[in-house]
Structure 1
Amino acid sequence: MLRAVVTGNVWSTRRIDGLPSGAFLEVEVAGGGSRLVAFDVLGSGVGESVLVVQGSVAAAWFPGTPPPVDALIIGSIDAPGDDGEAALPAGSRIPGRR
């Protein structure tokens, strides 16, 4: 799994049959600076931090015959809190933590 930031949209006027609804987004991988095109079904936007999976894990998420998708955005990363952990609403706690 990769942590990345959405850097732009990839516009395509034609698609193959069987590709589900979603958008192609260009993302920059954190720490390495490499860029790739990832398929997004979440509605992510430019500047958003996301989690990306690649390869067979990405393709296996789709039901039925997997489409030719090699990178898939699977989550949006919330802004970290002051201690580097994800910010939680007031009064919330992480199960198993005190």
Structure 2
Amino acid sequence: MISATVTGQVWSTRRVDGLPPGAFLEVETDGTGSKMIAFDVLGSGVGERVLIAQGSVAANWFTGTPPPVDALIIGSIDADSSG
């Protein structure tokens, strides 16, 4: 899993068939500063810290035929346990 912060929304007016309801969000991964686009079904917002699963684990979370999703927000981080 990857921890990241949501930095923005990606607007998409057209989608491939089979993509479930949700939003595309830009996230910045903790510690690296690199950015990626993650699919969100939880309703996460800008500034929120989240957990992300990638690859087949992300796509296989959905029922039926796996959609073309490579990064999925799977949780919200409420507090950092290191501090």
TM-score normalised to the size of structure 1? 0.81
1:27-77 CA distances to partner (integer Å, 9 max, x unpaired)? 000000110000000000000000001000100100010000000000000
Distance 1:63 1:80 in 2: 31
2-structure distance, mates of 1:17, 1:80: 38
> 1:1-20 maps to which residues of 2 (within 5 A)?
1-20=1-20
Once residues 73 and 14 of structure 1 are traced to their aligned partners in structure 2, the CA distance between those partners, rounded to angstroms, is 21
| Count of residue pairs the alignment pairs up | 83
| Distance in 1 of aligned mates of 2:56 and 2:71 | 9
**5+ long unaligned stretches in structure 2:** none
Taking only aligned residues, the RMSD between alpha carbons, in angstroms, comes to 1.1
Unpaired segments ≥5 residues, structure 1: 85-98
When the two structures are superposed, what TM-score results if normalisation uses the length of structure 2?
0.96
Of Structure 1 and Structure 2, the greater strand share is in: 2
Which structure has the larger Rg over C-alpha atoms? Answer: 1
After the TM superposition, which segments of 4 or more aligned residues of structure 1 sit over 2 Å from their partners?
Answer: none
Q: CA–CA distance in 2 between the matches of 1:79 and 1:54? A: 22
